[in-house]
Amino acid sequence: MEVPGFDPVGNQLYETYLGLPQRNAALYDQANAILLAPKVRGHLRLMSALSDVATFPETMRMSEELVRLGFQHELSIFANSGHGQAGQTARYNDEQRTQFFVRHLRP
């Protein structure tokens, strides 16, 4: 049975470190990266994978918030990967990350 609005993975990720949201609402607000989106400056590359149950939803929420704010960013999604990549997908991601750094961090 699913409960609307309940995120079991998010609860496992955050409650372990932050305690219950009802007891630490301010701490949850401080840890919410989406609320920091308006402060993002420079260049940003987000990356996630469809099978990554831990971070994919947050990656999509952050990307959507950046789009809503008009902030240009790069987004890479890997269809057949989980939280880590292997093989050709890992090599592709490494090359994309390297090229991002070359484009944006070169002196």
From first to last of its 107 residues, what are the pLDDT tens digits of the chain? Answer: 444 555 656 666 677 777 787 888 888 788 888 998 999 999 999 999 988 877 888 899 999 999 999 999 999 999 888 777 888 989 999 999 999 999 998 77
SS3 state at 75: strand
Give the separation between CA 4 and CA 61, rounded to whole angstroms.
Answer: 17
SS3 state at 16: helix
Predicted confidence at residue 79, as pLDDT, reads 87
